[in-house]
């Protein structure tokens, strides 16, 4: 996942950080960088050399130094988020100049344009560590995957985490129903079906229904049953940039849109009832999902058939065991009373989810950052 290169001391105006500082006298390069800033929705500050105004170099969320201006930037205070930008793919001295100005990255245009647009937008939005993204799938129909997804999201929000719940199963009836929010105001998946480019994380969050302390992207009540992969990519990327936690309720079938979601997960949970047929079905689901998702784990659910237990289910499927999902006989009655899955902190389901988040927090988030195409680190 691409990491943020925003400077730590960047100023914030109206909930957004300022745009990047551009230092160049190259008119053509400046035109390119202004175009990329416009695509990212950021307004840059432009100088021909290091800015004379005190603090401007330090406060900008990132600094883009043109090849032509590198010599003029020698001796300026070292900081994070400095990039040396140019067009000459074969310049042998570019790395020396990058070291002299303390640049973290060397970018060659046009190869690095897409990556740079994302970094500029991230810096303008003040993006930090991406959200921990958890996907939940059922080993068979009716396994309780949507219930677990809801409970995980509700539990995360109750603990103070910034949380978004995304319903990626168009045939599931709408996860907002489980939360009692089918009539809540806000956008649903059909409103994002044509999304292809970058979505602003803050704009996405503000547009969605707010339920039980979290934001929810669910389905409308029309016949739309497909999420195009480009829409899934745009929505999940925007959600991840907000930080915190993203929980995705996934269907068992893997189409292009679901494959895109699987590719953005940090961890997948496969909910499997303790029955032989469910285990057999779950093995097929795991095989398909495992073609895209590297880290998939089993959450067995009782009651178990004779001779089975959670450890046996995990061994039979050949995946790590997270823990056994508790069975709650009064769950439907609680929902009728307006309490969502996991909404009662004293319930066994809520305690299971709290223990899961504690386990995740103890393990830490080690998602790697990726560098730009057509460039590299200095």
Q: What is the pLDDT along the chain (378 residues), one digit of tens a residue?
A: 233 333 333 444 344 456 899 999 999 999 999 999 988 878 999 998 888 765 789 889 899 999 999 999 998 888 989 999 998 888 889 999 999 999 999 999 999 998 898 888 878 776 667 899 999 999 999 899 999 999 999 999 999 999 999 999 988 888 999 999 988 999 999 898 887 777 878 889 999 999 999 999 998 777 666 889 999 998 998 899 888 999 999 999 999 999 999 999 999 999 999 999 999 999 999 999 999 999 999 999 999 999 999 999 999 999 999 999 987 765 555 555 678 999 999 999 999 999 999 998 887 754 445 567 767 776
pLDDT of amino acid 371: 67
How high is the pLDDT of residue 96? 93
User: Which tokens is 33 given?
Assistant: 């960088």
- Cα–Cα distance measured from residue 64 to residue 45, given in angstroms and rounded to the nearest whole number: 10
* Residue 323 DSSP class: -
- Where exactly are the structural domains of the chain? 19-123, 130-362
Measured distance CA(299)–CA(353) in Å, rounded = 12
| CATH superfamily for domain 130-362 | P-loop containing nucleotide triphosphate hydrolases (3.40.50.300)
What distance in Å separates the CA atoms of residue 298 and residue 309, rounded to the nearest whole number? 12
- Looking at the chain, list the stretches that DSSP marks H as alpha helix, in order from N- to C-terminal side: 27-40, 56-59, 94-101, 113-125, 145-158, 175-178, 201-207, 229-241, 256-263, 276-289, 310-317, 331-336, 348-363
Say what the pLDDT of residue 6 is: 37
pLDDT at residue 4 in the model: 34
Q: What local confidence, expressed as pLDDT, does residue 2 receive?
A: 31
CA 38, 41, 47 angle in degrees (round to 5)? 60
Place of tokens 């409103």: 191
Which residue's entry shows tokens 């990519």? 233
Token digits for 246? 């993203």
**For residue 125, what pLDDT is reported?**
75
* Cis geometry, peptide bond prior to residue 21 (ω within 30 degrees of 0): no
* Backbone φ/ψ region at 184: left (φ over 0), alpha (ψ -120 to 50), beta: beta
What confidence score (pLDDT) does residue 1 get? Answer: 27
Q: Which of 167, 122, 99 minimizes the C-alpha distance to 10?
A: 122
The DSSP call for residue 170 is T
Under 8 Å between Cβ of 250 and 137:
yes
Contact by Cβ (8 Å): 67, 46: no
Closest-CA residue to 115 (of 292, 367, 366, 376): 376
Same CATH topology for 19-123 and 130-362: the answer is: yes
- Rg (Cα) of the chain, in Å, rounded? 24
> Does domain 19-123 bear CATH number 3.40.50.2300?
yes
**Sheet containing 296-301: order of strands:** 210-211, 214-217, 163-167, 245-249, 132-138, 267-273, 296-301
Q: What is the pLDDT of residue 8?
A: 38
Measure the CA–CA gap between 298 and 282, rounded to whole angstroms. 9
Which residue reads 């929705």 in tokens? 41
Q: Where do the DSSP E strands lie in 73-174?
A: 82-86, 105-108, 132-138, 163-167
Q: Which residues contact 322 (CB under 8 A, 6 or more apart)?
A: 269, 297, 298, 299, 356
């Amino acid at each position: 996942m691409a990491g943020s290169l925003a400077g730590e001391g960047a100023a914030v105006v109206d909930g957004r950080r300022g745009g990047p500082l551009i230092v160049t006298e190259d008119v053509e390069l400046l035109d390119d960088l202004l175009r990329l800033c416009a695509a990212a929705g950021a307004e840059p500050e432009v100088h021909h050399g290091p800015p004379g105004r005190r603090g401007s170099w330090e406060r900008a969320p990132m600094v883009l130094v043109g090849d032509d201006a590198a010599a003029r930037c020698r001796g300026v205070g070292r900081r994070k988020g400095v990039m040396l930008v140019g067009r000459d793919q074969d310049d042998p001295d570019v790395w020396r100049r990058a070291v002299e100005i303390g640049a973290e990255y060397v970018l060659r245009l046009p190869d690095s344009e897409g990556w740079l647009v994302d970094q500029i937008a991230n810096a303008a939005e003040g993006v930090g560590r991406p959200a921990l993204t958890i996907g939940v799938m059922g080993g068979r129909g009716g396994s309780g995957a949507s219930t677990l997804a809801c409970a995980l999201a509700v539990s995360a929000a109750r603990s103070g985490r910034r949380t978004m719940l995304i319903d990626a199963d168009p045939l599931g009836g709408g996860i907002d129903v489980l939360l009692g929010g089918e009539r809540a105001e806000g956008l649903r998946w059909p409103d994002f079906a044509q999304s292809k480019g970058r979505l602003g994380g803050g704009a996405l969050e503000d547009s969605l229904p707010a339920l039980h302390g979290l934001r929810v992207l669910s389905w409308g009540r029309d016949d739309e049953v497909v999420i195009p992969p480009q829409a899934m990519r745009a929505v999940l990327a925007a959600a991840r940039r907000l930080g915190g936690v993203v929980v995705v309720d996934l269907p068992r079938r893997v189409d292009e849109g679901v494959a895109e979601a699987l590719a953005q997960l940090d961890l997948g949970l496969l909910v499997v009832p303790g029955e032989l047929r469910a285990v057999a079905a779950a093995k097929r689901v795991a095989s398909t999902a495992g073609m895209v998702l590297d880290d998939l784990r089993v959450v067995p659910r009782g009651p178990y058939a004779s001779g089975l237990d959670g450890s046996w289910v995990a061994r039979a499927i050949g995946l790590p065991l997270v823990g056994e999902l508790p069975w709650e006989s009064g769950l439907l009655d609680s929902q009728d009373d307006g309490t969502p899955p996991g909404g009662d902190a004293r319930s066994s389901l809520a305690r299971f989810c709290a223990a899961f988040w504690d386990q995740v927090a103890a393990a830490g988030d080690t998602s790697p950052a990726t560098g730009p195409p057509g460039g590299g680190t200095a």
